[in-house]
């Protein structure tokens, strides 16, 4: 497994295509959700990718303070390839994403918008619910904070 962190402008066209392909594969096709993925936050974000045999299998978008939330950094677009989920790649991805944010922004609080069914998963990493349930693109979500 090879982990790479890059700013948007550092991504190659192949890397960007792989990121968009994986995000669409899971968020649009698998979750049957039509939504606007290109939200103008990618350009201000860091992109954390996990590669296996030159294939993207894990990804998060790391957002500086003020991009998604006024007073918090954030982890977004958390995605793993369906065939890799049983291998605990998601846990490794979140752990390493938190480490990357702490390295980039000196251990600041992290806020995420999580799909409700993943509340227990994120709780394992110290995230705590801090909002009511809300619908985003027809999927129940909650906001969570890790101090």
**Looking at residue 61, what is its pLDDT?**
98
Model pLDDT for residues 105-141, shown as the tens digit of each residue? 987 899 999 999 999 999 999 999 999 999 988 889 9
Task: Sheet containing 46-52: give its strands across.
Answer: 2-7, 46-52, 55-63, 74-80
Torsion angle, alpha carbons of 3, 80, 125, 40, to 10 = 80
Please state the domain count of the chain.
1
Exposure b/e, 92-101, CB count within 10 A at least 16 = b: ebbebbbebb
For residue 6, CA distances in Å to 29, 54, 72, 80, 121 come to 26, 16, 20, 18, 26
The CATH number that applies at residue 76 is 3.40.630.30
DSSP string, 17-60: HHHHHHHIIIIIIITT-------S-GGGSEEEEEEETTEEEEEE
Domain that holds residue 84: 2-146
> Which tokens is 65 given?
């303070």
The pTM of this model reads: 0.94
Contact 83, 109 (CB under 8 A): no
User: Is pLDDT of 13 > 80?
Assistant: yes
pLDDT in tens, 28-87: 888 887 778 889 999 999 999 999 999 999 999 999 999 999 999 999 999 999 888 888
Position 110 scores a pLDDT of 97
Report pLDDT for 29.
82
């Amino acid at each position: 497994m090879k982990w790479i962190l890059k700013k948007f402008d550092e991504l190659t066209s192949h890397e960007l295509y792989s990121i968009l392909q994986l995000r669409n594969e899971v968020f649009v096709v698998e979750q049957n959700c039509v939504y606007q993925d290109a939200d103008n936050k990618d350009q201000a974000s860091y992109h954390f990718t996990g590669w296996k045999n030159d294939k993207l299998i894990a990804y998060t978008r790391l957002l500086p303070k003020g991009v998604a939330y006024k007073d918090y950094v954030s982890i977004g677009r958390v995605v793993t390839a369906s065939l890799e989920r049983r291998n605990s790649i998601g846990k490794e991805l979140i752990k390493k994403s938190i480490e990357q944010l702490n390295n980039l922004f000196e251990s600041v609080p992290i806020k995420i918008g999580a799909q409700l069914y993943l509340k227990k998963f994120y709780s394992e990493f110290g995230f705590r619910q801090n909002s009511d349930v809300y619908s985003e693109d027809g999927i129940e979500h909650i906001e969570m904070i890790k101090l």
